[in-house]
Structure 1
Amino acid sequence: MQLKMSLDELNVFLVEHFPQVAGDFEVLDVSPMRITTRALVDDKHLRPGNTVSGPTMFALADVSVYLGILAMIGPKALAVTTNCAIDFMRKPVANANLRAETRILKLGKVLAVGDTLIYSEGQDAPVARAGLTYSIPPEQ
């Protein structure tokens, strides 16, 4: 399988189609069926107890799988999440960026399944694991 979008194209797509959150995420690496992304954490991502919020970790997993799928199928903005399961395993380091390592496990014509491990910079063990399923829009 070959990539249909490069690292630079994915970062540009994020800015053009999701400007409201584009400054929160960046693509670090992409290869067939794999992508590494980062959430740029600041005070708006923290919750009481001075830890990164669950919604921030979910958003990183969601964006990472979404962009990993687009890297393989091309820029189809209407691909949507149909399911997500996330396990929060450890407290992230406060104010540290998060890194998501994502594998696309299944890439079909109408559904794609991805698995993401989320790490807090400064920790070796993952802080969360998420599995997501996406619906891919039909060819027009």
Structure 2
Amino acid sequence: MMDEAALSAFLLRDFAQVAQDFRLERSDAAGLSLRLRVGDQHLRPGGTVSGPSIFALADVAMYLAILARIGPVALAVTTNCSVDFLRKPEAGRDLLAEARLLKLGRRLAVGDVMVFSEGGTEPVARASLTYSIPPRT
């Protein structure tokens, strides 16, 4: 198990290239909440958050939700992801991902992530992800 401080330290140490974009808001038995600090680098023409940025938020949120349960297994990898883009994110607001694990097995983890504009009540995206967990030695 990894608590919020350990997850944040892991992200900063092992994924320093993107760690500054994210902030862990909550991690508990129900799941995990992760913030994307939206900046100009996340925008597409028209001023909305790009699909790849929303994918990254969902992917990192699920990765951390899994690590919160199994510990620092850096080589757990995404094997499948499907993202439904539901509505345009609100301009000038961070995005928040709510991740929950649906199944955590020895080799596979399956979960979903709902993405919201900060302060919004309707999701802007929904992602379903499957991760492969490497065998423990």
Tell me the TM-score normalized by structure 1.
Answer: 0.96
* C-alpha deviation, 1:95, in angstroms: 2.4
The 1-side partners of 2:88 and 2:61 are apart by 20
Q: Name the residue aligned to 2:133.
A: 136
Match of 2:89 among 89, 92, 99: 92
Q: Does 1:55 align with 2:23?
A: no
The 1-side partners of 2:32 and 2:120 are apart by 20
* C-alpha deviation, 1:33, in angstroms: 5.0
Q: Name the residue aligned to 1:115.
A: 112
The 2-side partners of 1:110 and 1:48 are apart by 40
The 2-side partners of 1:53 and 1:125 are apart by 18
Would you say the 8 A contact 1:5–1:72 is kept in 2? yes
Gaps of 5+ in 1: none
Q: Which amino acid aligns with 2:63?
A: Y
* C-alpha deviation, 1:59, in angstroms: 0.2
Q: Which amino acid aligns with 1:122?
A: G
Cα RMSD of the aligned pairs, angstroms, is 0.8
SS in 2 for 1:84: strand
SS in 2 for 1:95: coil
The 1-side partners of 2:132 and 2:92 are apart by 33
Match of 2:99 among 102, 105, 120: 102
* C-alpha deviation, 1:26, in angstroms: 1.2
Instruction: State the 4+ residue runs in structure 1 displaced beyond 4 angstroms.
Output: none
Once the two structures are superposed, residues 47-103 of structure 1 have per-residue CA deviations (whole angstroms, 9 ceiling, x without a partner) of 001100000000000000000000000000000000000000000012210000011
Would you say the 8 A contact 1:33–1:68 is kept in 2? no
Give the count of matched residue pairs. 137
Identity, % of aligned pairs? 58
Tell me the TM-score normalized by structure 2.
Answer: 0.98
